[in-house]
Structure 1
Amino acid sequence: MIDVYVDGASSGNPGPSGAGIFIKGTPEGAKSFSIPLGRMTNHEAEYHALIHALKICIENGYQIVSFRTDSQLVEQAVEKEYVKKNLYQPLLQQVLVLKDELDLFFIKWIPSSQNKNADKLAREAIHLNKE
């Protein structure tokens, strides 16, 4: 099983944002990604981090994947397949479509203290945004 840790971060809310993705358990070893996301809210960045991570897993043929996030909002929305706020509905729909491309998909909330690698990568990604 592949373990994927995701985090989104924003400098300001909204503000320059980034996604951090830390993948372990791959045949190639651990992989790290810092992806600049442009200007958005922190919650949007959390969704985009998961979307990017799903795409990376699909592109690499990882089919049995466990995702970890410190965003309860994202974890609960994915588990319930429902989100109240209109802003997040298209993002949740993207997640639901992408997760169906995997053989096994798990998502689990973890405390921020267990998500330090992804958090660091997300914060680095903020600085990669073009001004």
Structure 2
Amino acid sequence: MTNIDTIKNIAKGKKIHIYTDGSSKGNPGPGGYGIFIEEFLENKNYKRQIISEGYRYTTNNRMELLSVIVGLEKIPQNRQNITVFTDSKYIINPINKNWIYTWEQNNFKNKKNIDLWIRFLKVFKKHFIFFQWMKSHGYHYINDYCDRLAEMAVKKKN
């Protein structure tokens, strides 16, 4: 497939927005994540999905990364046009600055959360993904909602 074909496929595909947030009380400590997925379908229809989960002992960075992974894993079809909104520079910088590929080439030597970064790359490579950073607690209602979902998940940790 040529680059032009790829661009055409992106343009005619449905758009998907994934909003994510992760949290932990203590670092490490109990934690959780919240995810809000919007799929914009034909005829101005849309589908929404809300996901959250809590953990007994984790870190904030693990929850931030896991929220993105789980959100992407919920998209059943490959090669989708996805925008991921996150307030985590822990996720944004490795992607937007292309560090992730160097890490992968070096087998994630001296990196934390290797299991999650490997899992992330598997799902990341299946789609056309743009990452958009949002200011934490910046009064964006969906980002704030994901924050509340993550906080509630911390309290209901599995």
TM-score (normalised: structure 2): 0.71
CA distance change for structure 1 residues 16 and 2 in 2, over 3 Å: closer, same or farther? same
Task: Render the CA deviation track for 1:37-74: whole Å, top value 9, x for unaligned.
Answer: 331111111111111111112x3x37221101100111
Equivalent in the alignment of 2:89:
72
Looking at structure 1, the residues matched to 88 and 37 of structure 2 have their Cα atoms a distance apart, in angstroms, of 17
- Is 1:42 the equivalent of 2:60? yes
What secondary structure is seen at the aligned counterpart in 2 of 1:21?
strand
CA distance change for structure 1 residues 10 and 84 in 2, over 3 Å: closer, same or farther? farther
TM-score (normalised: structure 1): 0.85
Say which one has the larger Rg: 2
Aligned residues: 127
Higher alpha-carbon deviation: 65-74 or 109-118: 109-118
- Is 1:108 the equivalent of 2:126? no
Looking at structure 2, the residues matched to 50 and 86 of structure 1 have their Cα atoms a distance apart, in angstroms, of 18
Equivalent in the alignment of 2:9:
none
1:12 is aligned, of 23, 26, 46, to 26
Q: For structure 1, list consecutive stretches of 5 or more residues without a partner in the other structure.
A: none
